[in-house]
Amino acid sequence: MGDLGDSYTIAEVLSKFSAGPDTGIFTDGSARPNPGSGGWGVVHVLKGEIRASLHGHEENTTNNRMELTGLINAAKIIEPREAVDIFTDSELCVNTMNQWAKAWEKNGWKKKSGPIKNLELVQELYFLLKDRPLIKLQWIKAHNGWKWNEYADSLSTAWTRDEL
């Protein structure tokens, strides 16, 4: 996301949006400026009912750190043998976990092009996902109009509105 100006309040999300899956975990993270203050949000829904809703805020961070933090918190609320789809608008995070991290682990957490940014968060998420093999991490377009995607965005920026 990155641009906090596009975010809706939670009440606005619930009144304006209805599209998208009604089951899964939706995450988001943002920072403004980037780097700067940021937040993350997670909402776990089952058949349209909220099972868990989490959010947090950090002063000195980046958009990517907040995206990873949201995903880490999402993975932590899932039992190791539970099957669930986790949706994020961070293509970087999805590619990191689904394509690159396994090779980095084999290479001693190194990549040819230089150091791995946010290594401690990448490793934490990677090992959480390894312990939860039934999680399917999926990329979705930011601000795609899906109710729970917009809800996660609203949670990630709630700190800017003193909403929660």
pLDDT in tens, 44-90: 999 999 999 999 999 999 999 999 999 999 999 999 999 999 999 99
Strands 135-139 and 84-88: parallel
CA distance 52 to 67: 18
- Amino acid type, 148: W
pLDDT in tens, 96-146: 999 999 999 999 999 989 999 999 999 999 999 999 999 999 999 999 999
Output the pLDDT for position 69: 98
| pTM as predicted | 0.94
Domain borders along the chain are 4-161
CATH entry, 4-161, from 3.30.420.10, 3.30.300.30, 3.30.70.980, 3.20.20.70:
3.30.420.10
Question: Which residues, at least 6 apart from 31, have a Cβ–Cβ distance to it below 8 Å?
Answer: 2, 37, 38, 61, 62, 63, 65, 66
